[in-house]
Structure 1
Amino acid sequence: MSVLLFKIAIAFAGSVITGGMLRFRNLIDRINSRQQTSVLVLFFVLFRVVPFLIVYVVLQLKARSDVPIFYDAAVNAMRGKIVYRDFWTPYSPLFPYATTLLLWFWNSAEALIFQMILMEGLALWLTWKVYRPEIRDSFVRLLSYLVLPGPLVLCVLGGQEDIWMWLFGVISVMAWQRTRDSLWIGVVMALALITTKALAVLIVVPMLFLVEKPLRYIAGLAVTGLPALGILVMLVGDKFLTPLAFADMPFAPNLWTVLSPLIGDFQPYSKILSWVGVGLTVGISSLGAAVLKQRMSYSKALPILWSLCFCFMMFIHKSSFGNYAFIFLMPMLVNVIDVNNIRHVAALILFNAVVVVHPTYWWGLKTPIFTNWSQLVSTENLIDYLMEVLLVGCLAYFLTLLYRIISHGQHLQTDRLIKLGSTDLRMNHDRGN
């Protein structure tokens, strides 16, 4: 079976499992709180560890996607070489060194995929620990995340590292809950910048408008980030800026690739559009952060801000593509998607299914950017374009949900209704007695 057909099968099976689980969630609700952690661990083993063993141990398939790039950089890091100077990586300076963890025991590209699974598991565990007492239905939300086809494929087959960014995000929430000091949020996010990828800066700036004490937050960023920057400049000069070259490369899908048959080739304006995408993402996210700060706590607001930032980036930036969904799917399920709303669930499942299939299909077509309607006469090209429209349409839908949550405080209204409903029940109970 080809990789594409395999992914189509996973997309279909994962969609059916997710839809069925949420359709009969009354059975999940019967699981008592003491058993929930064990069930989460079981689902993680079934939907992450077991697929890894089947694909890479039983079938003995080789790592694909970006994993060979990770592996080459990690091997150089193991040999004590200096990042950017002695070897190249498109990621942050500490990333190659962090990915050597399992290579000392199993020197294989597949070991990196298993490390990505473990890191996703850590992000899931900490998210569960933080949001279990904070968010209603957090159990079914995180179970849904585990069975969705998108994260499964992006993590196990793609070995993607994007979930590391949210790992630092949830650690920042833990730091805030323990210290109530914005300085430690800044320290954690500075570590995210030097450990994951340059995209982290898109959320680091808007968080300035979300934290309680912005100057303390900036101090936290500086106390960690400035020494790291100084060491980098001393060792490699300006070579640490080389990963930014990726921002000039066109990827699909995003708003520009969907509009391109209508407006013509946007690639001559790539550099301008890159800065437009960055500026709009940071600006819109910062505005959202300022509103959220007035409505809810940092811990509840961060998943919403995170989803806004990276949904909008994936929608507007001309270098965005399907794999970036891995950045925000977990936080979006934590506090954005209403798992009781059939439209939310349908959009989530459709988005995940297309995210699984489109990147492989697009790369198989040699990464086309359609600049004329005549190119869509081809059935293969038309299928690709329709998938792009579906993905961008789902992102637009998610952004609409986020706008309603942020501007109208729908979460707060829901909480009030729950409290009012509970009060009415108590009053009726008292009258009955």
Structure 2
Amino acid sequence: MPVLTVFYIKLIVNLILTFGIIWTISRSDLFSKWQLEKDKLIFTLAFILLRLIPWIGIFLVLNEDPRGDIPFFFYKAEAAKKGGFVYRDFWSYHAPLYAYIISLPVWIWHNSRAIVLFMVFMETGILWLTYQTYKVKSAKALQLAVIYLMLPAAFMYILVDGQEEVWFWGAALLIWRYTIKKTENYEVGIGLLYALTLLTIKVTFIFLLPAMLVVVKRPVKMLLTMAAIGIPAIGFLYWQIGDLFLMPIQHTEQLMTPNLFSISRPWVELIFHINEKKSTMINWIGLLFTVFVPVYMAYKARHRHINEILPGIFIACFVCMMIFQASAMGAYVIAYLMAVLFEIIDIRKTRHVIILLALNWLTVVQPFIWVYIKQPAYLSPAMFANGSFLFEYVLQILNVACFFWILRETYRKVVITPNLAAA
């Protein structure tokens, strides 16, 4: 199917999903009742209607091939299935265990579509666990779970493209639930979970660590636990493949959109030229802010228990990554979208709903347009004489504005609101 046709179909599906979200928001009383009486049934029906049936329609009925990163994931899964050693026998920009995990569905069905279905089941499991965590304190938890399944970004990036970034929230959720269950002496447990996450998903999960070390009561104990897992793992990798295990770090060199650098670059270039092939310093500066902002928030809220602020710190960390990292791209919104919906968005407020929908539409539309117009790097404001460039640039600005709004609301929830309540 032609790329433009796929895009137009995505727009139509996005419109249908948006109407579904608006209807769901208008039926709060009904969903509150369902949450008390038949939440498992409603959740299962929503999964079947909004994930399983569309997957069958796209990949079995229409016989479409998976897009996005799935072909590369399938390459890694095949190599892992054949007994290849990660980084040495096949390329991977993920943690060492990731390729072996996504190879599991390929053992059952040797087809890249199996990986997409696996991602869908993983996302649904994380959503169910999120719902179970929030339903004890919110009568809208089931309603939010159904809304999430209709969010255009989640629908497109996971159901169609098989993105795995939602696993970040899944890992943070497990750590958070552990601190809820064990309010004291939790450092060994979360240190173990954190170390396993770094071996399983992506090294970028390390961005959350400095902020967590600020709010845990015994940071050294947590670090020692992580070291007990991490040092032997790194030693084993180095013994087998030398420094090839550093391969995931190389993936951070490519400049992407939308982020603060991509929208400021036309004006920065008026002062000095940016060499894209030597952009390491830009990412290091972005990394500084990505780590500093969540650490500052954690420091301001250090008097609160970690189980009160961990979701907010997690959101702040990964939204900062999308704002400040020049290598960040729109698909990364999947990392914290579920957490934002349950933790930050108030569906009773029109502004919250509008920004949530705008973020989802922008995240789906902007990357396609950027790629379609040949991924321009805006080196001068004069480039905006081209209407296509100007339109895509405006979409980037709106997208980054949504990120800043999420960061502001998260800061309010973690730092300001508790202080006002105590005043």
On whether the aligned pair clears a TM of 0.5, the verdict is: yes
Are residues 1:246 and 2:251 paired? yes
Measured in 1, the distance between the counterparts of 2:255 and 2:165 equals 19
Deviations 1:105-147 (A, max 9, x none): 1001110000100110111121122222144532222222111
Distance 1:267 1:342, change over 3 A: farther
In structure 2, what is the equivalent of residue 163 of structure 1?
166
Equivalent of residue 235 in structure 2, options 209, 221, 230: 230
Q: CA deviation at 1:11?
A: 2.3
The aligned residue for residue 218 of structure 2 is 213
TM-superposition CA deviations, 1:191-211 (whole Å, max 9, x none):
111110111111123211222
The residue aligned with 1:276 is: 285
Equivalent position to 2:346, from 316, 332, 338: 338
Distance in 2, matches of 1:293 and 1:49, equals 42
Runs of 4+ in 1 over 3 A off after TM superposition: 177-180, 265-269, 410-413
Tell me if structure 2 keeps the 8 A contact 1:116–1:155: yes
- Shift in CA distance, 127/278, structure 1 to aligned 2, threshold 3 Å: same
The aligned counterpart of 1:354 is 362
Query: In the alignment, what sits opposite 1:419?
Result: none
Offset of residue 25 of structure 1: 2.5
Relative to structure 1, the CA distance from residue 88 to residue 343 in structure 2 (aligned partners, 3 Å threshold; closer, same or farther) is: same
Alignment of 1:306-321 (within 5 A): 306-321=314-329
Partner deviation per Cα, 1:3-25 (whole Å, 9 max, x = no partner): 22122222222222222321343
* Contact residue 28 and residue 140 of structure 2 kept, 8 A: no
Cα offset, 1:212, TM superposition: 3.1
The alignment partner of 1:323 has SS state of helix
Q: Distance in 2 between matches of 1:10 and 1:250?
A: 30
Q: Which amino acid aligns with 2:198?
A: L
Structure 1 range deviating more: 227-236 or 73-82: 227-236
Extract unaligned runs of 5+ from structure 1: 417-433
Q: CA-to-partner distance for each residue in 1:353-388, whole Å, 9 max, x for gaps?
A: 111122222222222111212222222222211211
Q: Which residue of the partner structure matches residue 4 of structure 1?
A: 7
Task: Assess, with a 3 A threshold, how the Cα gap between structure 1 residues 300 and 56 changes in structure 2: closer, same or farther.
Answer: farther
Query: Could you tell me which amino acid in structure 2 is paired with residue 270 of structure 1?
Result: S
Out of 170, 175, 196, the residue aligned to residue 172 of structure 1 is: 175
Is 1:383 aligned with 2:386? no
Q: 2:63 aligns with which of 32, 56, 60?
A: 60
Q: Give the one of 30, 34, 38 matched to 2:33.
A: 30
In 1, Cα distance between equivalents of 2:169 and 2:391: 32
Alignment partner of 1:45 is 2:48: yes
Equivalences for residues 63-142 of structure 1 within 5 A: 63-135=66-138, 137-142=140-145
Measure the CA separation in 2 of the matches of 1:118 and 1:16. 25
Q: Aligned-residue CA RMSD in angstroms?
A: 2.0
Task: Give, in angstroms, the shift of residue 281 of structure 1.
Answer: 0.9
Q: CA deviation at 1:168?
A: 1.2
Residue identity matched to 1:372: S
1:321 and 1:79 map into 2 onto residues whose CA distance is 32
> After superposition, what is the alpha-carbon deviation per residue over 1:173-218, rounded to whole angstroms, capped at 9, x for unaligned?
2333444422111111111111101111111232112223222221
Kindly state the Cα deviation for residue 349 of structure 1 after the two structures are TM-superposed. Answer: 0.6
Counterpart Cα distance in 2 of 1:24 and 1:389: 33
Aligned length: 414
Tell whether the 8 Å contact from 1:11 to 1:357 is kept in structure 2 after alignment: no
1:71-112: CA deviations, max 9, x gaps? Answer: 001111011111001111111110000001111110011100
Change in CA separation of 1:84 and 1:360 when aligned onto 2, cut-off 3 Å = same
Amino acid at match of 2:380: N
What are the Cα deviations for residues 257-304 of structure 1, in whole angstroms up to 9, with x where unaligned? Answer: 111222225445621110111111111111212333423x43332211
1:17 and 2:20 matched? yes
Within the alignment, does 1:290 sit opposite 2:290 as a pair? no
Where structure 2 has 5 or more consecutive residues not aligned to the other structure, the ranges are none
- Cα contact 1:12–1:353 (8 A) shared by 2: no
Aligned residue number for residue 376 of structure 2: 368
Partner of 1:256: 261
Identity of aligned residues (%): 28
Deviations 1:214-239 (A, max 9, x none): 22221221122122111111111111
